[in-house]
A = this chain, B = another copy of it.
Amino acid sequence: MNQELELVESMDKLGVLMNKFQTELLNGELKEYTLRQLYYIELIDKHEGISVSEISKTLELKKSTVSIAINQLLELEIVTKIQSNTDKRFYFIKLTPKGKDIMKMHKQVHQNTIKKIINILNPGEVDSFIKIVDKIAALNL
């Protein structure tokens, strides 16, 4: 059969899937946060000490947008801002213990799903999947 057509369907299913994968977060203990907030938290977890400007460039958002979002996370005691000693215009943004807890729960939710996936795939399939995703991701679409 036509591989292209089948792949179209697969991508469709994958879209639905990834949507569920993401919105799962909004059900449990993390439901008080928005996806956007969890996304900021994830980014800060991955790049400890990142600045507002850097986030703004990474996410292609205006500085004002990011500034407000970060100060909101600050208000919620999810992040801290530490002014740089060498350049006082800069602030290093980091996760607080509360922020790290959120990140832990976030990862937990995803890991639970991943366990279910590993359960129904055989090891060879898991390997193929990882390799194929890597290849596609390298495409940079």
Contacts and interface: CB of A to CB of B under 8 A. Distances in A.
A38 to B, nearest CB: 12
- Central interface residue in A22, A107, A118, A133, by most chain B CB within 10 Å: A133
Interface residues of A, number: 46
A127 to B, nearest CB: 7
B121 A8 contact: no
Contact of A129 (B18, B113, B115, B132): B132
Interface of A: 3-4, 6-11, 13-18, 20-22, 24, 107, 110-111, 113-118, 120-121, 123, 125-139, 141
A-B CB proximity, top 6 nearest: A13-B137, A18-B18, A10-B133, A128-B128, A10-B130, A20-B141
